[in-house]
Amino acid sequence: MNTEGDMRALSVEEREEIFIDIARQLDRTALESMVEGNRKFAMVSKNMADAIFISADELARDESHTPFHVMKQARELVRQFEAVHPHRMRSHAIH
């Protein structure tokens, strides 16, 4: 979904699934950041993921511009991580 109009065309359930998927991706990004020692980025990613998980239903039902700004910010955060880490880790071994 690249535009706000595309998101508005989806049902509430479909929009909610998109928000949950983005939150999961942020959660994975937070874990990878923590494993790599970037605690600040991990905290920001985890906090945003938790906020989206908690309010995914409200964001999906909201018809204002707020949900689209939240989605844009979340995608930008993931893009920043991917730009710095183009080769993602395949496994996480924590001892």
Alpha-carbon gap, residue 36 to 64, rounded angstroms:
37
* pLDDT at residue number 35: 86
The DSSP element (H or E) to which 19 belongs, if any, is: helix 12-35
Between residues 59 and 7, the one the model is more confident about = 59
* pLDDT at residue number 94: 60
Q: Once rounded to an integer, what is the mean pLDDT over residues 54-75?
A: 90
Between residues 95 and 21, the one the model is more confident about = 21
pLDDT above 80 (res 5)? no
Q: Once rounded to an integer, what is the mean pLDDT over residues 69-80?
A: 90
Q: For all residues of the chain together, what is the average pLDDT?
A: 85
Q: What is the pTM of this model?
A: 0.80
Alpha-carbon gap, residue 74 to 10, rounded angstroms:
19
Instruction: Show the CA angle centred on residue 32, arms to residues 69 and 17, nearest 5°.
Output: 40
